Each structure stands twice: as structure tokens, then as C-alpha cells.
Structure 1
Amino acid sequence: MNLTGNDLKQIGFIEGKALGLALDLVEKQYTDLPFDDKLALLKQVVNNPTSFINDATLAPVAAELLRPLDDTIALNVDGKSYQIYGADAIEQGALQQMETAMKLPVTVAGALMPDAHQGYGLPIGGVLATNNAVIPYGVGVDIGCRMCMTIYDIPTDKLQEKKEDFKKLLVNNTKFGQATFKKPKDHEIFERKEFSELQIVREMKDRAWQQIGSSGGGNHFVEFGIVEISNTINECNLAPGQYLAVLSHSGSRGLGANIARHYTKVAMDKCKLPQEAKHLAWLDLNTEEGQEYWLAMNLAGDYASACHHQIHERMAIGLRETPLAMIENHHNFAWKEKDANGNEIIVHRKGATPAGKGVLGIIPGSMATPGFIVRGKGLAESINSASHGAGRTMSRTKAKQTILQGHVNKFLKEAGVELIGSGLDEAPMAYKDIHQVMNYQKELVEVLGSFMPKIVRMCGDEKFQEVD
């Protein structure tokens, strides 16, 4: 004899999704259980749903029963466990944000990288795997922000011998913040159908064209430096030794920022979460809005890559050299990947470097400390991820209030670094010790080489004009 909706109403269920789920699950999963035992089991669930929140079969019913009567989606009572790398160097705010993310009903797994610090929604340095859902703020505002390095067979002593020439190259061929090129280079990215099919993207096309090949503000940079290859990188045919290199860090400019803002609002309107989790609102990938965001996010990621490629093309032309190799990766993005059981998951890396087995990447330090070329080890517990940099140890506001320009100048001089632009908020002292960060993630990546900045250009250099 099968249960009916009226039977469940008599033991405390009300008309709605929980009742339907209970009927469906109990008849499918407990077919051999007598009628009275089925009713008794569901009575326990409706009277105390919290105790069934982790039940292999009845958890969906319990979760629905715990959902507030309004349209706010309840978080799970207990969050899933997650791995933390370098926990003693991570601020409490980032840990709290990660714990909240692990309580989302769509969360499958998570990990926190050693450069983690507090952000909006998911902490920067947070990795979150979800089930068929994408979180715009789990990707971040600067969609597809990435690292890109080109390596040259040029004697490294040229950086000192012809320092003014290299500075001139940077000043004439890079733009930051609100500055753009008078004659932007065209790119095939603008032929993509998303620029005509998605409204928010279509509205941004002219601005995206104007900003192509430029870099954002904040911690974005283009710099010359010295690469020291310690282990042969077969993928790039790079033997151990010293090389001159160009390293850039930037993202998808106004295009990505507006996509992020638009779809975050859409997600927050459709997916109402408690106050502490509101920035983690998600879009179901089976919905039109979810598919739109996925297409727009991927376009923004490709646009970010196009910007970097134009930066490096300009550098190559100025150097009159063809690079030996290019290494790049992005770190504000969501990927469709497989878990250990072969199930598809959506992996958000908000300020985290992909570190699947054999995957090359770049983890920078600060303007006056080394970065590293790495190869991922594919550790499942880290969700195939590593840090995306050193990570901040103080906020931008605190850095401006407490760091003295004289101290920065001394640090740069001792490191042998020439700086064009930047503010006190990007001072090396505002960042964690990159060597300690790398030590925390030895099981995540293999270090193949280092990069030491020598001539750095960042935003905040309006006084510098193009020179002949």
C-alpha cells in the first residue's frame, strides 16, 4: 500500500516540495518497508529534520523542511569538510567565508589556498566545487584574470645595460587603468557570436574594443625580469639556465566587470540566501540565465587572454625578438571538471591557479620578490589547485595608512627593482612571504623555475608619457 499526500499531511507535512520529495523518495528507496514503518520514518524526519540533514537518502527532504517559509534558501546546518593549506597564515574572515560556502546546498567540495584572504562571497584563494551551479562571485569581478609570460634568449645583463630602453618599451607599449591606446589593435575575439547574442556583452563591445591590449589597475602589472629555469621544461623546450622574460598580470577589464555585476544581480534575485551568504548566490546551469553567464564568462576569459597576447606581441615587436616560449594560466574562473568518481563538477577558482597533474602555471610574488613557474601535481584534496600569488597580509587601506614610501624605496633598491607607477597599497610589505606560501603547497606543485622582477610597470603612473 502506497503513502498519499493526505497521509503525510496527517503527520505534519504541509503542501509543497518537501511533501512531494518525501513521497517520491520513500516509495523508490523503501519499497520493502511496511506502510506503518514508512509513515513512522517520515514522521521522525518532519519532527526533527536537522538529524536527517546528512542522511544518504532523506537529506533532500530534510533540507527542504529546513528551508524558511519565505523564498530564502536555507544553508545546510553542517558544512562539508575542506582542506586548508597554510592555515596559520590565513585571516579569520577568509576562514568564515569558506565555512559559509561549504554550507551551500549545491556545494560538493572545497579547498583554501595558502594565499587566501577575505573577499566578497568566496574568499580570494578559495576553491569551490558545486553540482551543476555557477556562482558569479565565486568567479569574481575580474573574470579570467590571468598570468602570461614570454621567455627570450636575450642575455639578462641587457636589463641593466639598456635599462632606459626597456623602461621606454614599457611606457610606450602598455596602458593601465583608464588609459587606452589611441589606435587599439583589432582581434578575432570581436567576431564571436556572443557579442551579438548576449545583451550585456553586446552593450560592452565598443568599450571592450577600446580597452583591448590594456591592463587594469590595482595589482596588475607588466614587467621585465630574469627567469632561472632549474628543471628542464619539456613542454616549452626550455633547458636549465637564465633567460630574459616578460610577465603580465591582468584580466578582462570593463567587459568582465560588467558581466560579473549583471549576473550577480540576476543570481541574487533568483537565489535568495541568508545575509552571510548572499554573495554566493548561484545560477543553475540548466536555466537560461545560467547558460548565458557561462557563455559570457568564457568570452571574458578569452578576451583577457587576447589582451595579454597583444601586450606580449607589442613587447616582442619592440624587442625585435621571437620568444622561445609562452606560459599562461588564469585564476578567476569556473571550469567543468570530473571528480574522483567521474562525476562532472563546476570548479570555481577565485584567485587560485589550476594545478592538475602536469599543468603548467605561474605563481607571482610581489613587485620586488620572486614568482615561480610550476607544474601541477593533481592533488584531489586541493581540487587540483594551488595559490595564485603571495596573497595580501594587509588591506589596501591599511597599507596606505601604515607603509612609508621611504621604506618601499629602500626595499626596491635592495632588490634591484626599477618601478614605474604603483601606490603604497601594492608595496611588497603588504603581501605574505612568497617563500612561506610556496612551502605550504609543496604537495600541490613542482617548482620548475623562478622569475625575479627587474623593471615593473603598474597603474598610477599618469605622469609618465610616451617617449621617443
Structure 2
Amino acid sequence: MKPKDPIKLGVPQGAALKEAIGAARRAAAKGIKKRELLARVCAVLESPADFADDEVFGALSEALTAHPEAAAARTFQPRESPAPYRIWGAGLEAGAIEQMNHACALPVSTAGALMPDAHIGYGLPIGGVLATENCVIPYAVGMDIACRMKMTVLDLPVSHIRGEEGRLRNALERETEFGVGAGFSKRHEHAVMDADWSVSPVTKKHKDKAWFQLGSSGSGNHFVEFGTLTLEKPELGLAAGTYTALLSHSGSRGTGGEVAKYYSQRAMELHPELPKHLKHLAWLALDSACGQEYWQAMLLMGRYAAANHELIHRAIAKNLGALVLADVENHHNFAWKETHFGKEVIVHRKGATPATRETLGIIPGSMATPGFVVRGKGNAESMNSASHGAGRAMSRTATKNCCSWSQAKRFLAEHDVVLISAGLDEVPMGYKDIHEVMAAQTDLVDIIARFDPKLVKMAPEEPTRRRRGSTKQ
């Protein structure tokens, strides 16, 4: 029996896996065939106590009984009463609320919050905030680990956005690539690639992919755009006024997706006791080898996502010969170790912006509606969180079925937005009213500036995989 065999069955890594391999050696010595061996391992996983005195599987039984995840896996025991959570905003879709209810029933959950941009996701809803004890839930972080916003204020006159539109458009087209599989044949250089990528077998395996995609942007709602930033009073080290700004939204690309898929699957294998409606909320104990692997991989993907934005903004500013006047950036789709309600917890913000008191963040609207630079108020009930955008009013499929490009083009023209490329599922009509979302969270953040998009690039309607060189960084 190879080590991967018991792992696939759900044997936790560490002491339990070691004892499973030992049991396999003892079973082989007794002439037990592999098929029967695997069946017996499954039986031990289902009821370790029944094998406590077994000469072949007794040590595995003891290791499983001692392992916190394995002990929890024998039967699912929800909390006696759901973890408390509060909802911001009105009229949120019932499915998102139901998902939040499920998340707060987990035995590891301690508190939650639902932001006003919330809508259905996998496991935890988008816009969901969940605190857990000593464990991390991969699907509560999300598939696009460390999805990130970054804004750079440039010293270019606002008149350049239309007067020099061709130059700005060329910079967007030249300095990043969009879509699934997009990347650069000529690698960008960044210190993140000197980090320890062996923290997880997944990051180690996909380091070359990550390097190929370094400096690129994702598909779906990811974008890079120019617009105007309006400050009503001095902020960000700038005088009141209107400025040219560059705004980007993207995450950890294909490697982050591979990390999410692998550890979500591992978590589900470790928790076969979870009913179907909770399987995407399976967790990894942080004192387990698998939990530590995921945590370190997640942190690395955070650094990698930040590097992507840094390279994009640096390259575009250099292309235009512009000076950087100010920067603001933040993650969502991440987990943090924080103290809330008197104890350390793991706070998952899936499509939610950190809003600790005085912390700056960016909450975008859509391709043709404003976004906002905000300052957190440190609201304890939201565990220092706010929305991460306007949030979808319709699913992608519904948007494609209900909306047309002719409608979208009229909307874009009315808002003085030039769209370079995007999918129909990203048109503004598919999103909630950003002004209503912001009005619903005045106790979470203060607005300090408004960003209005003017020249927008997203992944094309039918992304194509391309390899090309890049300008020197």
C-alpha cells in the first residue's frame, strides 16, 4: 500500500498516516491482500474503537482516536445553538442566508457576519465572514485565494484619460494579460519567486506555472482600469481634488486555484461525516500537518497576489512615464488570525474587506459604476469587516440570458466609460446598486474618496490562451 492510498481514504497525515503504513506492513506479513486491507482501513476509520485491541490495526485505532479531526469525523455533532451572526443590508437572497446559517451550525464556528453585497457561493456565501477555532475552511477562503484590490494615484492630468486615451489603452493592453491560462513567455522578476515554494506539494509543483502567470490578471470580474479619483478633502497624503488613478482587481491565478482545489478536497476527505449540504464547509485543524500546509500555502498566495498587482502597476506607470502619488490595496478571500470576543480565532473573509479601525480599503462597483476608498471603523459585530464590492444581483447565467450588449453599451455611454474587453456576464446590470450597498454599511466604513471608471479592460468574452513576452520590469 502506497502512502497516497490511506490519504485518499481519509486517514489524516501525521501519526495516523504513519500507523496506517505500519498496519499495511503487518497485514502484508499475514497475507492480507490490498483490497481487503483497504476495506479494513475504511472500517477502522468508521469506528476506531472497534479495533483498539487488534494486533494489526490497534496502533492505527489509537492514533485516529487521538487525532482531533478523526475524532470529529466519527459523527457530525452541530453546535447546540448556532454561532451568532448579524446581517447587513436588506433583501439578500435566501440562498446566501441559508449558507450562512449552515456555516454557523458547524461545531468549529464561533461567530459570523453577512455583508450587504452577499450572494451564493460554495460553502460560505460570497460576502460571508466566519470565525472558527483552531481551524481553517478552504472553501470559506475561496477558490481565488487572496483576491486583491490595488489603486495607484498617478501624476497624469485627468484630461489625459480622454486626450491620451490611445496611450493609456496601449499601456493596459501591453502590460498585463487576462484570462484562464494567460501569462508571459518572458518571466517577470520579483522577490516572491525567491520565497519557499516547498511549503506545500501543490505550490512546489506549480511554481513554474505561477512564474509564467506572474504579472497577469484573471478572468470573470477581474479588471485593470483607469478612472478619476475624487477627494472632497485632503486624504492619502493628497490635497482635495480630482486625480487620475489606476485600479486593478485580481488574485493568485492558476496556482491559487490549484491550492484551493487540493486542500478543499483533502478537507472533505477528512470529514466524511458532514452531510451533503455542509461538505464544502469541511475544515482543516491548524495543529495538523495538512492544516499547516494549507495555511502556509495561503500566506504564500497572498504574497504572490500582491506581487501580481505590484508588477502590473509598476509596468503601466513606467510605460506612461508617470509618477506614483499614492497607493491603497487590500485582500479579500483570505483568513486571518485575530482576537475577537476575548479569544484568538481564524476569521475567514470570503468576498469581504478588512475594516479594522483606520485601515484603508477599496470597495469597487462595476465596470461603469463608482467604487470607493474607505476607512474602517472597527465594528466588533462585523469582526472588522465590510463588503468587497457591489455584489451580484443576478448570477452569471441569468445576466447572459437577461442582458444584451446593446443595453450595456447604452449604459456605458451614459456613464462615459470606454470598455476595451469583457464578458457579457460582467455588464453593470448584473450587479447590485453600489450606492445602496454603501448606505447599508455606514457603521462599518467611512468613504474618503470616490473612483469613477473611464477606461476598462477585463478578460475577453472568449478568452484565448496566449504566450508572449513583456516589457522589462
Q: TM-score range by the shorter chain?
A: 0.7 to 0.9
The residue identity in structure 2 corresponding to 1:454 is K
Q: Say whether 1:376 aligns with 2:376.
A: yes
Partner SS, residue 216 of structure 1: coil
Which runs of 5 or more structure 1 residues have no equivalent in the other structure?
1-14, 18-63
Partner of 1:187: 190
Aligned-residue identity in percent: 51
CA RMSD across the alignment: 2.2
For 2:57, the equivalent position in structure 1 comes to: none
How far the C-alpha of 1:359 sits from its partner, in A, is 0.4
Return the alpha-carbon distance in structure 1 between the equivalents of residues 446 and 341 of structure 2: 22
- Is contact 2:84–2:110 with CA below 8 Å preserved after alignment? no
1:120 touches 1:137 (CA, 8 Å); kept in 2? yes
Partner of 2:425: 425
Distance 1:102 1:267 in 2: 18
1-side partners of 2:242 and 2:188: how far apart? Answer: 32
Question: Do 1:251 and 1:304's aligned partners in 2 also have CA atoms closer than 8 Å?
Answer: yes
How much has 1:77 moved relative to structure 2?
4.7
**Contact 1:386 1:444 (C-alpha < 8 Å) held by counterparts:** yes
**How far did residue 155 of structure 1 move?**
1.4
Structure 1: distance between partners of 2:388 and 2:215: 22
1:446 maps to what in 2? 446
Correspondence for 1:47: none
**Aligned residue number for residue 327 of structure 1:** 328
Give the corresponding residue for 2:198: 196
Judge conservation of contact 1:171–1:464 (CA < 8 Å) in 2: no
Deviation at 1:271, TM superposition (A): 2.1
Contact map agreement 1:226 1:451 (CA 8 A) in 2: yes
Are 2:357 and 1:357 aligned? Answer: yes
* 1:264 counterpart letter in structure 2: S
Closer, same or farther: CA 464–347 of 1 in aligned 2, 3 Å:
closer
Distance 1:169 1:439 in 2: 35
Q: Secondary structure at the match of 2:454?
A: strand
Residue identity in the other structure for 1:286? D
CA distance in 2, matches of 1:171, 1:350: 30
What is the deviation of 1:423? 1.4
2:8 aligned partner: none
> 1: CA distance between counterparts of 2:312 and 2:419?
18
Could you tell me whether the CA contact under 8 Å between 1:212 and 1:306 is conserved in 2? Answer: yes
Structure 2 CA distance, aligned partners of 1:137 and 1:410? 37
**Separation in structure 2 between the aligned mates of residue 181 and residue 463 of structure 1, nearest angstrom:** 13
Residue 81 of structure 2 aligns with which residue? 78
Q: TM-score, normalised by structure 2?
A: 0.81
Q: How much has 1:78 moved relative to structure 2?
A: 2.8
Assess if the C-alpha contact under 8 Å between 1:74 and 1:274 holds in 2.
no
Structure 1 window deviating more from structure 2 (132-141 vs 178-187): it is: 178-187
What is the rounded CA distance, in whole Å, between the counterparts of 2:347 and 2:238 in structure 1?
31
Q: CA deviation at 1:127?
A: 0.1
Q: Is the 8 A contact 1:271 1:283 kept in 2?
A: no
- Residue segments in structure 2 that go unaligned for 5+ positions in a row: 1-46, 50-67
Q: Is the 8 A contact 1:263 1:293 kept in 2?
A: yes
* Mapping for residues 18-37 of structure 1, pairs under 5 Å: none
Q: How many residues align?
A: 400
Distance 1:107 1:170, change over 3 A: same
Q: Is the 8 A contact 2:116 2:437 kept in 1?
A: yes
Aligned to 2:307: 306
- Deviation digits for residues 87-143 of structure 1, max 9, x if unmatched? 32x100000000000001111110000000000000000000111110000000000
User: Which aligned pairs between 1:213-228 and structure 2 lie closer than 5 A?
Assistant: 213-228=215-230
Q: SS in structure 1 opposite 2:324?
A: coil
Secondary structure of 2:227's aligned partner: strand
Listed one character per residue, the Cα deviations across residues 395-448 of structure 1 (whole Å, up to 9, x for unaligned) are 001111110110000000111000011111000000000000000000100000
1:108 alignment counterpart: 110
**Quick one: which amino acid aligns to residue 175 of structure 1?**
E
Question: Where does structure 1 differ by over 3 angstroms across 4 or more consecutive aligned residues?
Answer: 461-468
C-alpha change, 1:137 and 1:174, in structure 2 (3 Å) is same
The change in CA–CA distance for 1:317 and 1:80 in structure 2 (over 3 A counts) is same
CA distance in 1, matches of 2:48, 2:173: 63
> What is residue 148 of structure 1 aligned with on the other side?
150
Q: How far did residue 197 of structure 1 move? A: 4.0
Per the alignment, residue 166 of structure 1 pairs with 168
Bigger radius of gyration, 1 or 2?
1
Q: CA deviation at 1:75?
A: 2.0
Residues 366 and 428 in structure 2, CA contact (< 8 A), matched pair in contact too: yes
For 2:263 and 2:341, locate their aligned partners in 1 and report how far apart those are by CA, in whole Å.
30
Q: Distance in 2 between matches of 1:230 and 1:131?
A: 42
| 1:271 match | 271
